[in-house]
Amino acid sequence: MKKKLLIVEDEKNLCLLYREELTKAGYKVTAVMDAAAALEQIKKQTFDLIVTDIRMPGKDGIELITQIMALRKDIPIIINTAYQSYKHDFMTWAADAYVVKSASLEELKSKIKELIG
């Protein structure tokens, strides 16, 4: 069975890129563009892992992580963001991994593999 990923990314083109590349890597990918849509999906179906940006319009990624943890405590979460500076922020400790966005998706892919195979 393919592992199921939820991608939360507010940039349309990046959202598309992640969906294509992670599908190619063998995952079943659901990609949404904001936190509200992400919560809706989480209530609807079970995911093996969530990749989310922080600092998005509307609900922030951190707030989303808090809510996900309240709903499904055991889902691993990867923060995938353009900001390097939040890496050591206490608010991001709750996540299982912190990846700074890069044109190469290798780090993101290897972190996903590490967490769920």
Partner 1 sequence: MIERYNLFLHAFSQEASKELQLFSIIAQSFFQPYSLMDNLLVIMTALTAGPGLGFNRAMLFLTEGDGLKGEFWLGPASAGEAESIWRVLSTPGIGYPEIIEHNRSLLNSEADTLTKRVKKLSYPLYKEPALFPALTASARQMILVRDARNEPAVDRDFVELIGTDEFLCIPLVSEKEVLGEIILDNAITNLPIMARDIELASVCGLMAGNYIYTAKLQKRIVDMRKVAAMGEMAMFVTHQLRNPLVTIGGFADQLLDPNTGKKKQRRNIQIIRSEIRRLEKILLRLSQFFRIDAGEKVAVDLQEMLKLVQDSARARIAGRRITLHTEVEAGLRVIFGDPTHVGEAVRNVLDNAIDAIGDEGQIDLRAYRENAEWAVIAVRDSGKGIPEAVKNKVFDSFVSTKERGMGLGLAYVKKVVDASGGRIEIKSTEGSGTTFKLYFKTYPRKKGTTT
- Residues forming contacts to partner 1 in the complex (CB under 8 A) are 10-11, 13-14, 16-17, 20-21, 33, 55, 57, 82-85, 101-105
Contact 29, 22 (CB under 8 A): yes
| Nearest to partner 1 of 36, 82 (CB atom) | 82
| Nearest to partner 1 of 45, 85 (CB atom) | 85
| Nearest to partner 1 of 28, 58 (CB atom) | 58
Element containing residue 18 per DSSP (H, E): helix 12-24
In whole angstroms, the minimum distance from the beta carbon of 66 to partner 1 comes to 18
CA 69 to chain centre: 13
| Nearest to partner 1 of 19, 72 (CB atom) | 19
What single string gives the DSSP state of each residue in 29-73?
EEEESSHHHHHHHHHHS--SEEEE-SS-SSS-HHHHHHHHHHH-T
In whole angstroms, the minimum distance from the beta carbon of 45 to partner 1 comes to 25
In whole angstroms, the minimum distance from the beta carbon of 10 to partner 1 comes to 6
